[in-house]
Amino acid sequence: MDIEKIARDSGLLVVLDGRIGREEYKSVCGSLHALQRFADSVCELLSREPRATSIDRLREWGR
């Protein structure tokens, strides 16, 4: 799942703030409506996956 693409497709602006070595630091901004579209898209994609995989992906994002 390409979370950055989902954010852009939802109408959020993804900006590269900096790069240190291989690590990139980005900011995301936009309207609450765009944030809702993003959340809806993520929920829809997760609902298509088996439950264990969905939970594992959410845990990965939290790291």
Find, among 39, 20, 48, the residue nearest to 28 by Cα: 39
Q: Of 5-14, 43-52, 53-62, where does the model show the most confidence?
A: 5-14
Question: How far is it, in rounded angstroms, from Cα 38 to Cα 41?
Answer: 5
Distance of CA 3 to the CA centre of its chain: 3
How many other CB atoms are found less than 10 A from the CB of residue 30? 16
Q: Per residue in 3-34, pLDDT tens? A: 999 999 999 999 999 999 999 999 999 999 99
